[in-house]
Amino acid sequence: MTDITGLKTSPPKLPTMKELKPLLEPYCRPRVKRAIWQLVSTLIPYTLLWVLMWFSLSISYALTLLLSVLAAAFMIRIFIFFHDCGHNSFLPSTRANKIVGFWLGLLVFTPGELWWHSHAIHHSTSGNLDRRGIGDVVTMTVKEYLAAPLWKRIGYRIFRHPLGFLGAGPVVVFLLRNRLPIPHFGRKEMLSVVYANLGIVAIAAAISLLIGFKAYVMIQLPILWIGGAIGIWMFYIQHQYVDAYWAPAAEWDYVKSALLGASCYKLPALLRWFSGNIGFHHIHHLNPRIPNYELFRCYIENLVFQTYAKIIPFGKGYPSLVLSLWDEDQNRMVSFKDTSRRRRG
């Protein structure tokens, strides 16, 4: 296998889904007690941090911002629970997942049915060059980029710049894009946006009546921005690295898209907890019905998921920040500079 250095090795013979299925199935059992404990151990500290941030406003806003980093970490964990509800993997009951997921979605400013539908498309099309654009990080090929008009190239460069997707991205995604339905989605998805918007406004209004709208914004905005930036980075590094997997529809393969196109982002234990083990993304893509609390156990108990993994060590993912285009000739992600040099050469 290769890692983010991009060194080429002979492609491994990957196991088939038929071979992997019996290894994955024992972990696909949501447990009510475990899910409830996750909710309690996350929502209570998150609420307490909100209260502490409110008190800290009268002391120092720097202290408020410091506390917002920890609150954002809990917000990321809440988003993972919301994410699992969409895969019907957080709780055994589909109805319970829908109800719990809706309320969790309000806390992370995301409409359930809309996001879950978009995310399901991502799982079924990840790495498919002919089915890009929904639920993924927009990625152009080198040929598409070079053939695009100037305005489109400029827009794409702004979008792919780290200050674009990590700086402005959280505000654009969670405060703007999530407030609007996606065209051509169904009535259920459209209504989920309406209900989520109403719920978010109701919660914001209720809190503002208690502490004031200015205080609400001063607390919620940094939490949302920091948590959103970290969440976007996690999603980015799970699919955007030098030897990621992209293939035309005729050649696209589900197992390859999971094992070659979804990374294993090795985080320290504390960060694994806050991120709900989503760093074991290759396993999650092989079977999204595995709850977040079973992903690590699935990884350590099965050598195959350690062997066939695109491992990105914690602190070593930053080179991927400049990778913006898929080069179909080299079968790898490249930067804008790489593309310019090749054109000049």
Ramachandran assignment for 263, one of left (phi > 0), alpha (psi -120 to 50 degrees), beta (any other): beta
Q: Does 120 fall in a domain?
A: yes
More confident residue, 183 or 279: 279
What pLDDT shows up at residue 3? 45
Q: Does 59 fall in a domain?
A: yes
What pLDDT shows up at residue 4? 46
| pLDDT digits 0-9 by tens, 140-184 | 999 999 999 999 999 999 999 999 989 999 999 999 999 998 888
What pLDDT shows up at residue 153? 93
Containing structural domain, residue 207? 17-136+161-321
**How many percent of the chain have pLDDT more than 70?**
95
Q: Cβ neighbours of residue 245 under 8 Å, at least 6 residues apart?
A: 127, 256, 257, 260, 261
> What sign results for the dihedral spanned by CA atoms 58, 61, 65, 66?
negative
User: How far apart (Å, rounded) are the C-alpha atoms in residues 179 and 158?
Assistant: 22
Q: Does 118 fall in a domain?
A: yes
User: How far apart (Å, rounded) are the C-alpha atoms in residues 99 and 33?
Assistant: 17
Q: Average of pLDDT values for 212-240? A: 96
Total number of domains constituting the chain: 1
Q: Does 218 fall in a domain?
A: yes
pLDDT band at residue 2, thresholds of 50, 70 and 90?
very low
Measured between its terminal Cα atoms, the distance across the chain in Å is 30
Q: Does 51 fall in a domain?
A: yes
Q: Does 307 fall in a domain?
A: yes
Q: Does 3 fall in a domain?
A: no
Q: Average of pLDDT values for 203-225? A: 97
User: How far apart (Å, rounded) are the C-alpha atoms in residues 261 and 102?
Assistant: 29
Q: Does 96 fall in a domain?
A: yes
